[in-house]
Structure 1
Amino acid sequence: MGVSVIGAVLGATLGAGVLLFGVPLGIAALGFTGAGIAAGSIAAKMMSAAAIANGGGVAAGSTVAVLQSVGAAGLSLGAKVGLGSAGAISGALLSK
């Protein structure tokens, strides 16, 4: 293996790891947790704005609903594959 191939493999691995672990951590940091939306968080502000805009409820499939679902249950297999692939491609390209 040449040096450029090793760099691309390392970049792909790092890129995939950053997205696969970083996205769920970022969602949790916003306040979307397994126990629900954290009081006083950005997620709480987003939920309040969504509820006001929708007459008191948060619409199914909305950004807030999807982020809370991910915060509570984690990413689906399809989402993990997509994020891992995007991260791997980006990491490999950036390593050159």
Structure 2
Amino acid sequence: MAKLVIGALVGLGGATIGVPVALGALGVTAAGIAAGSVAASMMSSAAVAGTGGVAAGSLVAIMQSIGAAGLSVGTQAASAAGGAALVGLLL
């Protein structure tokens, strides 16, 4: 049981702390994608590859959505469950 609790905390921590930190490091903010950032380069590449815009459901669009609205409760719960399963397998 302790393994599941530890895993859930690791998964939830990764979702609630790790993802926003990683996105911020790439240049994704609540106000949008920062000019000159890695995310801006990804957005430019996605636009050139597509029809001039970022396709719905693409990695860049998902990153923008998370940056603007944060992670949903469902995503956080899934991360906690995944972390619990992973730690349970490793320990």
Q: Which of 77, 86, 91 is residue 90 of structure 1 equivalent to?
A: 86
Which entry has the higher C-alpha Rg, 1 or 2? 1
CA distance in 1 between counterparts of 2:66 and 2:45 reads 19
Identity %: 50
2:11·2:84 contact (CA, 8 Å) conserved in 1? yes
Give the 5 Å matches for 1:13-28.
13-20=8-15, 21-28=17-24
Partner letter of residue 16 of structure 1?
A: G
Q: What is the distance in 2 between the residues matched to 1:23 and 1:38?
A: 17
Which blocks of at least 5 consecutive residues in structure 1 are unaligned? none
- Residues 9, 58 of structure 1: CA spacing in aligned structure 2 closer, same or farther, 3 A cutoff? closer
* TM score, norm. by length of structure 1: 0.80
1:69 equivalent to 2:65? Answer yes
Unaligned regions of 5+ residues in structure 2, if any? none
1:44 aligned partner: 40
Q: TM-score, normalised by structure 2?
A: 0.84
Q: What is the alpha-carbon distance in structure 2 between the residues aligned to residue 14 and residue 48 of structure 1? A: 36
Q: Count residues with an aligned counterpart.
A: 90
Moved over 2 A (4+): 91-94
Q: CA RMSD in A?
A: 1.7
